[in-house]
Each structure stands twice: as structure tokens, then as C-alpha cells.
Amino acid sequence: MSITERDLNHFGETNAAKDKLLEVRNLKTYYPIKGGFFRRTIGQVKAVDDISFEIKKGETLGLVGESGCGKSTAGRTILRLLNATSGQIIFDGKDITNVRGKELRQARKDFQMVFQDPYASLNPMQMIGDVISEPFKNFGYKNKKEIKEEVMNLLNRVGLPEDAYYKYAHEFSGGQRQRIGIARALALKPKLIVADEPVSALDVSVQSQVLNLLKELQSDFDLTYLFIAHNLSVVKHMSDRIGVMYLGNLVELADKNAIYDEPLHPYTQALISAIPEPDPKRKRERIVLTGDLPSPANPPTGCPFHTRCPVAKPECSEVKPTFKEVKPGHKVACLLY
Ligand code: SF4
């Protein structure tokens, strides 16, 4: 019996599906705006407005954009900390968009978040040993000796001394607190970690130590990262591919070198032009965007970037560009392409 082209296509698709850890399809997260005497819904903040992307196993996808562009809301929706308004979140082959109760708890074992402000996410009244033990207890692990051993291993793995077990959050520096947050996120050996601005609250001197730790842990623990940040140099250091968000929309997505060396979207070009060029012989023209970021409660018609785009055409205010692949692996939403 011969193998047909259809069989081969099917085989290819199946392998590609196995490769994906996360697939986000047409995801929208809107917040209602309440007003009037009866607190009726009078509008919606379109925090995430129809984004689609996927992350392969072991990959790091960076999400960048100005504050308020929806990147953190996207991360929280994917982890089911917020409810999606519509769209689909497929995690490890399973649609988790609307799972609840026991099923959601079970799914949560496999994805964790590392927060921007580790201090706010650590209970100041709990010993660090208890903070890191919590996920084990929440998932029914009972053997106290084994849990303690695991916690000690995790402390060691994130570069903290064993006596950290008996201390409290206020006794640590910002960088050490972020290491504690990372240890807690790793406790249940998740597959995906969403890191939301994990170093932006830290001193520059410790940022690279924490970033390098995240990289080491990625290979040791077979982790996949969704790495959210506004600092493009940090995102470049961490990511394999980068997605650029503007006003709740994904406007460009490509391999990190393509984003830095050949950005296609005028917004990405402006972001990249603002990065200081370390080589004085290479001159990069700075593109300064004028105008304020519009409100996601009242986004512009047509292309969401047209009110600030330096190369906007008349039709840009009427037609919303589709997010499409214009080169292999390089997607952009702009009417110029
Ligand atoms: Fe600029 Fe028009 Fe492209 Fe939007 S569609 S980025 S306004 S050129």
C-alpha cells in the first residue's frame, strides 16, 4: 500500500500539533464599563481584541508593547486568571477556555505565572518555606518530609540558601524575592510559565542575574515561556520569537532577529528606532511617534494605529488590516503589505 500525499499532509499536521504547547485563537478580553444610576453596562474596554498566536514546546515567545496595550491582560486570560470574552485557548491539545472547577484546578498545575512585583505576591506573614510548600499542599501532597526536601531543592536551584526556608519576605532583597516567586512557580513542574515583566521592578544590576536564571531553568525543567515586557532589549535577550501588541491587537509577530533587523509594521519600526545603538558607526534614525495612545474603550476605526502612524494612508482610517503572513514565519497587520 502506498502512502498518499493526503496521508503525508495529515502526518505533518499531527506532528505540528504535537509541537505546539499553546494555541491562542481569536482571543478577546473585554471589560464592561458600568455607568448611570442602575450601573448598567454602557461600553466596553477592549483590552485584548482578537489576537491569535501559538507557542511551541520549549520556545520563548516575547510579547512587547507600551503599557496599556493588553499584553498583561492577554497573559492573565491565557492562564485563566481572567475570563475570555470570546476565542479559544488550546493548551497541550486541550481547549481550556471555559473549563471550570476540578478540571481548571488540574490544568493549573501545568501553567504558572511569575509576577512583576514579587513582594506583593508573597504573603508577609508566612515563612518562605510555607510559601513555596503551598502549591504542594493545594494539590494534596501530604508527606511533610518530602515536601520540605522538595522546597529545599527548589531554594537551592534558584540560588537561595537553605536558611531562607525559615525567613520572611521582608528579609530579602527584590532580586531574592523574585527568586522565591520563581521557586514557587516551579514547585509543581509546570509546562508553561507566563512571566509578566519579571525584572522591571528590580535594580538593573540584578536584572541580568534573574534573566539568566530563567534561561537556565528553561533547559533544566523543559519550560516554555510567554515572556511579557516593555523593554525591547530584555525581550530580545530572552525570546525566540516576538509579538508586538498595540491597543489590544497583535500587529507583528516574527523571529526575534527579523523583528530587530527588518521590522515591517510602522509601530514596530518606531519602537526599534528608540533602542540606543551600541555601535557608534551604525546610525539609526529615531522615529518619534506623536499623539497619545488612544483609549481601548474607544479605539479608532480602521487600523488601530492610524492616529499615530507616520505613513498612514486615507484608507487606513476605514479598513482594519488583517493579521497575515507576508514572509515565511513573519506576520503583520498593515495595509502596506
Ligand atoms: Fe500605518 Fe496604515 Fe499600516 Fe496602520 S495600516 S500601520 S495606519 S500604514
Q: Best of 249, 335, 337 to mutate for ligand 1, by most ligand atoms within 8 A of CB?
A: 335
Residue 180 CA to residue 155 CA, distance in Å, equals 7
pLDDT at res. 161: 95
- Residue with CA closest to ligand 1 atom 8: 312
pLDDT at res. 286: 87
Q: Best of 244, 306, 326 to mutate for ligand 1, by most ligand atoms within 8 A of CB?
A: 306
Which pLDDT band holds residue 10 (cuts at 50, 70, 90)?
A: very low
Q: Residue 313 to residues 180, 288, 335: CA-CA distances in angstroms?
A: 50, 18, 9
This prediction's pTM: 0.90
- Does residue 312's CB lie within 6 angstroms of at least one atom of ligand 1? yes
CA of 245 to the centre of ligand 1 (A): 14
Which pLDDT band holds residue 2 (cuts at 50, 70, 90)?
A: very low
- Does residue 323's CB lie within 6 angstroms of at least one atom of ligand 1? no
For residue 34, pLDDT over 70 is answered with: yes
- Does residue 287's CB lie within 6 angstroms of at least one atom of ligand 1? no
- Residue with CA closest to ligand 1 atom 3: 334
Give the tens place of pLDDT for each residue, 304-322. Answer: 999 999 999 999 999 999 9
User: What number is the average pLDDT over the span 7-17?
Assistant: 47
Which pLDDT band holds residue 5 (cuts at 50, 70, 90)?
A: very low
pLDDT at res. 39: 85
CA of 95 to the centre of ligand 1 (A): 33
| The three three-digit cell numbers of residue 29, written as one number | 478580553
User: What number is the average pLDDT over the span 36-60?
Assistant: 93
For residue 12, pLDDT over 60 is answered with: no
Work out the mean pLDDT of the chain and round it to a whole number: 91
- Does residue 306's CB lie within 6 angstroms of at least one atom of ligand 1? yes
DSSP state of 91: E
Coil, strand or helix at 276: coil
- Residue with CA closest to ligand 1 atom 7: 306
Q: Residue 35 to residues 42, 110, 298: CA-CA distances in angstroms?
A: 6, 39, 15
User: What number is the average pLDDT over the span 40-62?
Assistant: 95
CA of 252 to the centre of ligand 1 (A): 12
CA of 266 to the centre of ligand 1 (A): 7
Residues 6+ apart with CB under 8 A from 275: 232, 233, 284
Give the tens place of pLDDT for each residue, 90-149. Answer: 999 999 999 999 999 989 999 999 998 877 878 889 999 999 999 999 888 889 999 999
pLDDT at res. 9: 45
- Does residue 302's CB lie within 6 angstroms of at least one atom of ligand 1? no
Give the tens place of pLDDT for each residue, 228-273. Answer: 999 898 999 999 999 999 999 999 999 999 999 999 999 999 999 9
- Does residue 264's CB lie within 6 angstroms of at least one atom of ligand 1? no
Atom number in ligand 1 closest to CA 304: 4
State the pairing for strand pair 249-255/330-332. Answer: antiparallel
Atom number in ligand 1 closest to CA 266: 6
Residues 6+ apart with CB under 8 A from 223: 58, 190, 191, 192, 193, 217
Give the tens place of pLDDT for each residue, 187-222. Answer: 999 999 999 999 998 988 899 999 999 999 999 999
- Does residue 311's CB lie within 6 angstroms of at least one atom of ligand 1? yes
The amino acid occupying position 127 is M
